[in-house]
Amino acid sequence: MNQAFFFAVPIDFLLAHEELVRQQRVNAEVFADGDVLEILDPARVSAARALLDSAGLRRRVHGPISEMALGAFDPKIREVTLHRCRQSIDFAEALGAESIVVHSGFDILNKRDLADRYFAQFVPSLCAIAEEAAGKGLRLLVENTFEASPDLILDAVDAAGADNVGLLFDVAHHHVYGKTPVSEWLPRWAGRIEEVHITDNNGDWDYHLAPGRGTIDFAEFFAILKGLSLRPVYTFEPHDIEAFADTMKFIQAHADYFA
């Protein structure tokens, strides 16, 4: 498996499919949501690290997303969110990870007309966790989720000014929620994109289909990446074994995308 390919997996799935991990040489982006972080057994983290170490595989951490709001107006909600982020940083350090995926938590349904206020709160939260991550040698990658345009996250990351913070572009999130065309979004982020998340959908919901099973124009997407001379880490996010198999077929059928 290409060393620039990762697969997003919950820690329990990783440990339950040890043979698959070894056979397929699957670098792991290990996901732990807040409820998992709350009760995470250090022994399981040690077992996951031992598995990845023994197989010579890289690992990253996909930080919590559910109910997370780093720019929340309510300071108590920001406090809980920061606590979960700190737990995620500790988890990443224990796992021997390279980086952590974080999300702004921006809620377009309730905060659509209050984006400036939300991201004004997001910036100091990002600075706080970036400093803690830097102390452990970790990078933070901010992922687009519900943001309609590239500038909300880009401006916040620039305002934070942390050397260990980069950007992660999720093409499936963009397909559902993005209003700025990918041909305009990617050039805006070009110098900062370190990772790309790849799944598919039909533009109505983030179903995490295998690439090629939805309506995302991957030929256009990869042509834009190549035109910008971008060579990010690619992380695939299948949600079951069947989607994993279909994703592997996509990778094999489109080796030119990743050349």
> Would residue 247 count as lying in a domain?
no
The pLDDT of residue 110? 72
For the four alpha carbons of 166, 71, 8 and 56, in that order, the dihedral sign comes to: positive
**Count of domains observed in the chain:** 1
Q: What phi and psi values does residue 25 have, to the nearest 5 degrees? A: 55, 55
> Would residue 35 count as lying in a domain?
yes
Its pTM surpasses 0.95: yes
> Would residue 224 count as lying in a domain?
no
> Would residue 158 count as lying in a domain?
yes
Helices 75-95/42-54 angle, 10° precision:
40
> Would residue 73 count as lying in a domain?
yes
The pLDDT of residue 201? 98
Residue pLDDT tens, the chain, 259 long: 566 899 999 999 999 999 999 998 989 999 999 999 999 999 999 999 999 999 999 999 999 999 999 999 999 999 999 999 999 999 999 999 999 999 999 987 777 789 999 999 999 999 999 999 999 999 999 999 999 999 999 999 999 999 999 999 999 999 999 999 999 999 999 989 999 999 999 999 999 999 999 999 999 999 999 999 999 999 999 988 999 999 999 999 999 999 8
The pLDDT of residue 3? 66
CATH number for the domain that contains residue 155:
3.20.20.150
> Would residue 152 count as lying in a domain?
yes
The pLDDT of residue 1? 59
> Would residue 130 count as lying in a domain?
yes
> Would residue 210 count as lying in a domain?
no
**Residue 108, C-beta contacts closer than 8 angstroms, at least 6 positions apart:** 146, 147, 148, 177
The pLDDT of residue 2? 63
What would the 3-class secondary structure string for 153-202 be? HHHHHHHHCCCCEEEEEEHHHHHHHCCCCHHHHHHHHCCCEEEEEECECC
The residue segments making up the domain with residue 152 are 5-199+231-238
